[in-house]
Amino acid sequence: MTRWKAALLAATLLALASAGPVPGAAAEPIGDQVAQTRDGQEMLRLEVESLAPRFVTSATPKLTVTGRITNVGDRRVDDIRVKVQRGEPVERDVDLRDLAKLATDSASSPFVDVSRSLAPGESAAVRLEATVRGTEQSLALTEPGVYPVLVNVNGRPDYGGQARLAAVSLPLPVLSVPGGPAATVGPRPRGISIIWPILDTRPRRLATTDGSVVLTDDDLADSLSPGGRLFGLVNSVAKVTANDGTLLSSLCFAVDPDLLQTVSAMAGGYRVRGENGRLVAGRGAAVATDWLTRVAGLTRGRCVLSVPFADTDLVALSRSGAVDLTQLALASSAIVAELLSPVQPAKELYWPAGGSFDQRTLLDLAALGPTTVLADPTHLQKVRGQPPFTVTGYQTPAPVRALPIDSLVSSALELDRPGAGADTSLQRGLAALTFRALFDSGADGTRILVAPPRRWTASEQELTGYLDLAQRLFDSGSAVPQSLVGTLSGIDQGTAAGLAYTPQDAAREIPTAVTADVARINGTKRDLLNAMDDDNTSDVDPNTLLSPMQYGLLRGTSTAWRGAPERAEAAVEQVDDQLGALCDQVVVNNQGRPLALASGDSPIPVNVYNGLPVSIVVRIRLVAPPGLSPAPPQDVRIPPLSSISRYISAEVTRAGRFKVDAKLSTPGGTKLGSTAQLELSSTSYGIITVAITGTAGAVLVLLVAIRLVRRVRTARAARPGPGPEPILDGEARVEP
């Protein structure tokens, strides 16, 4: 059998062996691809799918690497072969961060043939074994350390010579070597504390006013099921600590009250909004019950850190001035205590997204009580001494402390780094923890506080491997588990002037356009609550009716939406729609026919219906055209699910038809329902009209009288008057 046929058979067997799905064992690409271009073009791409073992001990004779090489270029590549090579152990943080830049020519395994030829688009399986030490062509490991390793692929492209065409860089922790020494443990082993985040990738529950449980999708059911992300976060801890609880002493579970509350509600039945907007029954009730039970058992008697409700962005909320929302988000730790009873979350402990708070937020938190911040050390200013640090640069009513996380170990656990071919395994995390615990000469006796990504997407297999390493360090005495609660209960050993909050930090916040809407909607909710009243005929508390709106606003400002403002806007808009639907349940019943006013001061009848399950005080305001003057607005209390009529005084100053707008609001000004247009008709005259008419009549009579007088006088003046009397002369009449 030729070596090419043997390689082909090995590749076939490997493909058959990996054909069946293995829950929780999906391959995660290991290491970072190191781009190798020829004539400006990438020829081959290597993905390392497995590395066994992930760290070397005295029981490790060889290192096995498997993966796949793909021709991603536009020409054939011949004589493809691969080898493993390593450099010298890293000595500084920066070396571990920039591992791909380090030399790896200290030792190497022999080349192994992979494929005689690969045309564009074709791929071939890779499997090679590298002896750890003891032979001429081996990795020649002689002492413990964290080594830079390169998986090197050579080939000969068409129209070219043999060259390196692909490579993957990865770190290799070596705790001990076969036949050689183990890592030396200092007189003061490092204490390790690990925050274990149990947060969903995003909020999913929608705000509803009827108490129903509606989720945006049913992906949470998958996440809670075996093989799912949230299941893996819980099950990996349960597996590693099944026979030894030492590791649990080092863990502090960071939990989201919104997630726990949502899962608890799912257990009682829920619905999911489909793509067409229709609601369908959810399928995760059973797995929700099981998962919540497992979390409660795992956290009993352990350190638990409650993040704000829905992991809301406290800095963004503080900037918006929504103090009551901030207080609600922090008070939700009571939800954790209730659902995980008898667990009591650590008090006044905050884990900010991005590693820092701005000054205003710190002052807001300190106004509520003593405050401890798990901070990124790069944000601490003018540090003196050892942690925990007293923050001295602010005048606060309660003390502020800072406990720095280990940025090297924590950042090594991030799986969403930019760039093609980025490592999605926890190999860098294994190396960083090993380096800090065993080989960092400047960290003797210091604490290692590990803060993974808040929404960790590592597979259960990777999580289990990480916890296995931590347990191995504890078992060997190389490190000791350290309770975060114990650290917090100790005295401060240093000071820091303050926490830096850079423009880059501010740019990552939930945008002000979103928080402005949040503040507006929250103000509307507050005003609506003030207008509502408990009613003896209803068992509904107005707070119960409206609190889902506030929780919905907190979900809209979740740090999960950092970098996705459109998702935050959609979440807040959904709450706005729900609150608007509540307001629209208080309406004016329009009869749809004209109303006749019998007199000039007849009141206008207005019938208002309250479709809410609670009483509400409504302000009725009529807006009329000239000729009709309604009385000023009046407030009326309307019982739940009832209608009531009110007669609004009005004065008619002319006859005719009127269109009157009836508007409803709360006494505080929140609009209720839609404007109703009432049609009125009046044949009567108002006081002013009558007065004007009477005055006009009187003037007319007066004018007529004056005219008659003038006519009489004129007529009299026109008649001839009597002549002089005749003169009598004796008996005879003599005319003058």
Render pLDDT for 645-687 as a digit per residue (tens, 0 to 9).
998 888 887 777 888 889 999 999 999 999 998 888 776 555 5
User: DSSP assignment, residue 423?
Assistant: -
Which residues, other chains included, contact 635 with Cβ-Cβ below 8 Å and sequence gap of 6+? 617, 618, 619, 620, 667
Low-confidence ranges of the chain (pLDDT < 50): 1-26, 731, 733-734, 736
Residue 465, token pair as written in the block: 């491997």
Three-state DSSP class for residue 119 = coil
CA distance 317 to 334: 20
Confidence at residue 7, expressed as pLDDT on a 0 to 100 scale: 37
The count of other CB atoms within 10 Å of the CB of residue 298 is: 19
Nearest to 47 by CA among 425, 414, 415, 411: 425
DSSP codes, 342-372: T--PPTTEE--TTS---HHHHHHHHTTS-EE
User: What span, in angstroms and rounded, lies between the C-alpha atoms of 100 and 33?
Assistant: 9
CB of 373 closer than 8 Å to CB of 352: yes
Query: Please, are residues 104 and 87 in contact by the beta-carbon 8 Å criterion?
Result: yes
68 forms beta bridges with 47, 125
| Phi–psi pair at 732, nearest 5 degrees | -90, 145
Contact 169, 419 (CB under 8 A): no
Q: pLDDT by residue (tens digit) across 229-255?
A: 999 999 999 999 999 989 999 999 999
CB neighbour burial string for 537-569, b if at least 16 within 10 angstroms, e if fewer: ebebebeebbebbbbbbbbbbbbbbbeeeebbb
- What's the pLDDT at 16? 25
Contact 171/431 with Cβ under 8 angstroms?
A: yes
How far apart CA 514 and CA 565 sit, in angstroms, is: 8
Closest CA to 357 of 562, 514, 502: 502
Q: Mind giving me the DSSP string for 605-659?
A: EEEEEE-SSSEEEEEEEEE--TTEEEPPPEEEEE-TTEEEEEEE-EEE-S-EEEE
Helix, strand, coil shares of the chain, percent, nearest 5, are 35, 30, 40
Sign of CA dihedral 390, 392, 394, 396: positive
Number of neighbouring beta carbons within 10 Å of residue 230 = 21
Cα-Cα-Cα-Cα dihedral sign, residues 633, 634, 636, 642: negative
Q: What is the bridge-based pairing of β-strands 251-255 and 279-281?
A: unpaired
Extract the tokens encoding 367.
């106004």
Amino acid 718: pLDDT: 67
Strand-pair partners of 41:
38
Tokens of 59: 């029981």
- DSSP three-state, residue 429: helix
In the numeric block, the tokens 């740019």 are attached to 507
pLDDT for the residue 402: 97
312: closest CA among 258, 254, 373?
A: 258
The amino acid sitting at 334 is A
3-state secondary structure at position 489: helix
Residue that has been written with the tokens 């206008």 in this structure: 604
Residue 147 token pair: 């080594």
* Helix (H) / strand (E) containing 108: strand 107-108
Domain 586-685, CATH among 2.60.120.40, 2.40.30.30, 2.60.40.10, 3.30.70.20 = 2.60.40.10
Inter-residue contact 250 to 482 (CB < 8 Å): yes
Secondary structure in 3-state letters for 226-250: CCCHHHHHHHHHHHHCCCCCCHHHH
CB 69 within 8 A of CB 115: yes
Per residue, the 3-state secondary structure of 12-77, as one string, reads: HHHHHHCCCCCCCCCCCCECEECCCEECCEECEEEEEEEEECCCECCCCCEEEEEEEEEECCCCCE
Residue owning tokens 């030492």: 246
Go through 682-697 and write b for each residue having 16 or more CB atoms within 10 A of its CB, e for each that does not: bebbbeebeeeeeeee
User: DSSP string of 511-534?
Assistant: PHHHHHHHHHHHHHHHHHHHHEE-
| CATH topology for the 3-174 domain | Immunoglobulin-like (2.60.40)
In angstroms, the CA 454 to CA 353 distance is 8
The residue among 76, 78, 70 whose CA lies nearest residue 33 is 70
Residue type, 405: I
CA 669/CA 316 separation, integer angstroms? 27
